[in-house]
Amino acid sequence: MVQRFQQYIDGAFEDAKEHFDSIDPSTGEVWAHMPSASADDVDRAVQAAHRAFMDPAWANLNATARGKLLYRLADLVAQHAPRLAELETRDTGKLIRETRAQIGYVAEYYRYYAGIADKMQGAWLPVDKPDMEVTVRREPVGVVAAIVPWNSQLFLSAVKVGPALAAGCTIVLKASEDGPAPLLEFARLVHEAGFPKGVVNVVTGFGNECGRTLTSHPLVSKIAFTGGPETARHVVRNSADNLAAMSLELGGKSPVLVFDDADIESACNAVVAGIFAATGQSCVAGSRLVIQRGIHDAFVAKLVEKAEAIRIGDPQDMATEMGPLATRRQLEHIQKVLKDSVEAGARVATGGSQPSDKTRGYYFQPTIVDCPNTQVPSVTNELFGPVLSVVTFDTEAEAIAIANDTRYGLASGVFTTNLTRAHRLSRALRAGIVWVNTYRVVSPIVPFGGYGLSGLGREGGFDAAMEYTRTKSVWIRTSDEPIVDPFVMR
């Protein structure tokens, strides 16, 4: 039976005038109808968020009370994690065992920001003016437009919704048109938690009707966007209309450097997890393996063995180790880039095609591509799929140069038992995250973001919450003496 989802605007669930089909990536078949928000729907959502921002029911709610609402939301996310995980797996093809674990941890992000709500402090400034007291207040920026992609939606929305609400902002959350079901369901938890109407609104839709209307809306004060660089450029252009503050998290082409002194088994397992977990559809996927020449052959052989043992299948099956890609569009993109890479001299060590026993859905084999240089298309382009490109180095300096030879800079990994080398590389790598002898680990306490085309600003951690505030300087004259007439000569 095809399910039907609703959008959430001004505290009410409603149908949109138009709907679109959502495809189950494991079968290629329609499983749900999703609301396609019109420009009018988005305008109503922003207007509702603005009214809520000005309404004493939210504006006068003290920070501790906001924190308690976020704690309540965190408990509901944890309580309903199995349902949310089932929807995310159905709508995106992510493994059920991944979505259950991840969504359970998402609750910790809401708890973290709940605790921060009454700890965002201003300051007293010791100014150089006599008889003056100056304080700096931290106040919420206003209405936030939060836009997230289909992968890890509940996590990527938590690092926006959590700090925005902790700071006292209101929000319009746009779910991706690819797989929006879990966020539309999340709106029910917001409603149940008891947030005043209009504080959180959830919509989904396409192009100018939804995306442009939201990011260019004159009442939007901040845009928090996760997605690709090309879409981000549109968002930046749209923001010229409202001059909204902005944070952009745009993915990457993350290198994993493995030196010949590394714990080979540990490094190999981390590389496999870094690229084949979530079918490679992760912004921090370790898609470039930079391997020292002396261990190249043995290491790649071990990787091939592990990749070929991965169990591909139904993402709802707990025994499955890798599911389908989320969209046919992504499948076709990967096939094209791989074809171009082989023509450029790369060798496919394993994989490179759809599994012969998977005739339905958007499945693709775990793929390892041995590349002669860093200019091969699979090395330079973000594929967002289970494709690992391997390049070789001889010296530490060469490894650093290869790792930094990219327009992106979100994450990186280093595997070595040499402590001084680990410190040198953590300074030298141009990436917002450096994992040493581990990979793909996150925490609500730790900032997350990148360099270059990987975006600007940071999510996660205490400072991210401050990005949803702005300062107000308050000058108070403490003297009882009248102010001197400036036009009387003395």
CATH code: domain of residue 85: 3.40.605.10
274-278 contact pairs (CB < 8 A, 24+):
274/413, 274/439, 274/440, 275/386, 275/387, 275/388, 276/307, 276/310, 276/322, 276/366, 276/386, 276/388, 277/98, 277/440, 278/94, 278/95, 278/98, 278/151, 278/152
- Measured over the CA atoms of residue 305, residue 312, residue 151 and residue 117, the dihedral's sign is negative
80 and 193 share one domain: yes
CB 144 within 8 A of CB 217: no
The crossing angle, in degrees rounded to 10, of helices 63-79 and 96-116 is 170
Classify residue 450: in a domain, yes or no. Answer: no
Sheet holding 3-4, edge to edge: 3-4, 29-36, 18-24
383 and 332 share one domain: yes
240 and 279 share one domain: no
Residue 42 corresponds to which tokens in the numbers above?
A: 């988005």
Cβ neighbours of 267 (radius 10 Å): 26
Classify residue 396: in a domain, yes or no. Answer: yes
Query: How far apart, in whole angstroms, are the C-alpha atoms of residue 99 and residue 84?
Result: 8
295 and 214 share one domain: no
pLDDT number for residue 39: 97
Question: At 39, is the secondary structure helix, strand, or coil?
Answer: helix
268 and 409 share one domain: yes
18 and 144 share one domain: yes
Query: How far apart, in whole angstroms, are the C-alpha atoms of residue 187 and residue 190?
Result: 5
Q: CA distances (Å), 94 to each of 77, 89, 90, 352, in order? A: 18, 5, 8, 20
Classify residue 488: in a domain, yes or no. Answer: no
User: Position of tokens 């008891």?
Assistant: 194
Amino acid at 233: R
Q: What is the pLDDT along the chain (490 residues), one digit of tens a residue?
A: 899 999 999 999 999 999 999 999 999 999 999 999 999 999 999 999 999 999 999 999 999 999 999 999 999 999 999 999 999 999 999 999 999 999 999 999 999 999 999 999 999 999 999 999 999 999 999 999 999 999 889 999 999 999 999 999 999 999 999 999 999 999 999 999 999 999 999 999 998 899 999 999 999 999 999 999 999 999 999 999 999 999 999 989 999 999 999 999 999 999 999 999 999 999 999 999 999 999 999 999 999 999 999 999 999 999 999 999 999 999 999 999 999 999 999 999 999 999 999 888 999 999 999 999 999 999 999 999 999 999 999 999 999 999 999 999 999 999 999 999 999 999 999 999 999 999 999 999 999 999 999 999 999 999 999 999 999 999 999 999 999 898 987 6
The CATH number of the domain where 387 resides is what?
3.40.309.10
Query: How far apart, in whole angstroms, are the C-alpha atoms of residue 331 and residue 167?
Result: 40
What residue numbers bound the domain in which 174 lies?
3-249+460-474
244 and 290 share one domain: no
Query: CA gyration radius for the chain?
Result: 25
- Measured over the CA atoms of residue 186, residue 188, residue 191 and residue 194, the dihedral's sign is negative
Question: At 264, is the secondary structure helix, strand, or coil?
Answer: helix
367 and 270 share one domain: yes
Catalytic residues, by residue number, are 249
Classify residue 481: in a domain, yes or no. Answer: no
153 and 277 share one domain: no
Q: Please name every residue paired with 36 in a beta bridge, in sequence order, or none if there are none.
A: 18
State how beta strands 367-370 and 387-393 pair: parallel
CA dihedral 283, 286, 290, 296 (to 10 degrees): -160
DSSP letter (8 states) at residue 411 = E
271 and 318 share one domain: yes
CA 398, chain centre distance (Å) = 31
Classify residue 18: in a domain, yes or no. Answer: yes
DSSP letter (8 states) at residue 373 = S
Classify residue 429: in a domain, yes or no. Answer: yes
Classify residue 111: in a domain, yes or no. Answer: yes
**What domain count does the chain have?**
2
87 and 25 share one domain: yes
pLDDT number for residue 208: 86
Cβ neighbours of 474 (radius 10 Å): 12
Q: Which residues contact 31 (CB under 8 A, 6 or more apart)?
A: 2, 3, 22, 23, 24, 90, 91
CB 117 within 8 A of CB 70: yes
Please report the beta strands in 272-371, taking only residues with DSSP state E, as ranges in sequence order: 288-292, 347-350, 367-370
Query: Which of left, alpha, beta for 170 (phi over 0: left; psi -120 to 50: alpha)?
Result: beta
Classify residue 490: in a domain, yes or no. Answer: no
CB 218 within 8 A of CB 43: no
212 and 262 share one domain: no
